[in-house]
């Protein structure tokens, strides 16, 4: 029997990956999403969490980086693993030290290409198109103090035809994300 796990999901925007995760784990016997957190009070992902009756918290940069407040919420909720799903801030070292190898992220490209500070969302797909890449994909990795550089757990690829618009690239990548992220999280938690 696998150990029970309690996930916190951090997001900054739309939260479509978060919703795929909520759906995947809603009736799971050992893994539960217990808290959703965002730096953005207007994040659509928070509304998605409400629909699944998952508690939410919003924080400022000061609360996140210069206090133990967010850490306190995670402890109170008994969080065992942290999932970043379209979360755009760098994770502070106190969080990484509290959850060693227990923070996971998804990136919409084949790292180490098209990663690093400022590389997120559509900017990634524009860079892929402008470089004339013939394939792109997703990377799911553990999180450390550097942007997009932790241990890679999974990569999935899709083709980029020269006629594709940035939007078409984004849609393909998003399909891959939704198909794989929840299952990779499940395997990673149960490793």
Of 32-40, 71-79, 106-114, 160-168: span binding ligand GAR (CB under 6 A): 106-114
Nearer to ligand GAR among residue 94 and residue 122 (C-beta): 122
CA dist 85 and 22 (Å) reads: 11
Binding of residue 106 to ligand GAR (CB under 6 A) = yes
* 107 carries an active-site annotation: yes
Catalytic option among 107, 125, 141, 180:
107
Query: CB 128 → ligand GAR: shortest distance, Å?
Result: 12
Query: CB 95 → ligand GAR: shortest distance, Å?
Result: 16
Binding of residue 182 to ligand GAR (CB under 6 A) = no
Binding of residue 150 to ligand GAR (CB under 6 A) = no
Sheet holding 5-11, edge to edge: 56-58, 31-38, 5-11, 81-84, 103-107, 135-142, 152-159
| Residues between 57 and 96 that touch ligand GAR (CB under 6 A) | 85-86
CA dist 187 and 123 (Å) reads: 30
Q: How far is CA 27 from CA 2, 8, 63, in A?
A: 15, 16, 32
Query: CB 106 → ligand GAR: shortest distance, Å?
Result: 4
Residue ranges of the alpha helices (H) in the chain? 16-25, 44-51, 61-65, 69-76, 93-98, 121-130, 166-189
Instruction: Report the catalytic residues.
Output: 107
């Amino acid at each position: 029997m696998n150990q029970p796990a309690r996930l916190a999901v951090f997001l900054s925007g739309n939260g479509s990956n978060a919703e795929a995760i909520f759906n995947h784990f809603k009736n799971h016997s050992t893994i539960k999403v217990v808290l959703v957190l965002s730096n953005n009070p207007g994040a659509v992902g928070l509304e998605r969490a409400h629909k699944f009756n998952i508690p939410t918290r919003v924080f400022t940069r000061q609360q996140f980086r210069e206090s133990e407040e967010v850490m306190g919420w995670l402890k109170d909720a008994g969080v065992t693993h942290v999932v970043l799903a379209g979360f755009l801030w760098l994770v502070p070292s106190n969080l990484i030290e509290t959850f060693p190898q227990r923070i996971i992220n998804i990136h919409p490209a084949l790292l180490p290409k098209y990663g690093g500070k400022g590389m997120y969302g559509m900017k990634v797909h524009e860079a892929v198109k402008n470089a004339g890449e013939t394939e792109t994909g997703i990377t799911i990795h553990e999180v450390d103090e550097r942007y997009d550089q932790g241990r890679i757990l999974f990569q999935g690829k899709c083709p980029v035809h020269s006629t594709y618009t940035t939007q078409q690239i984004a849609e393909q990548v998003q399909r891959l994300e939704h198909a794989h992220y929840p299952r990779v999280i499940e395997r990673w938690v149960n490793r």
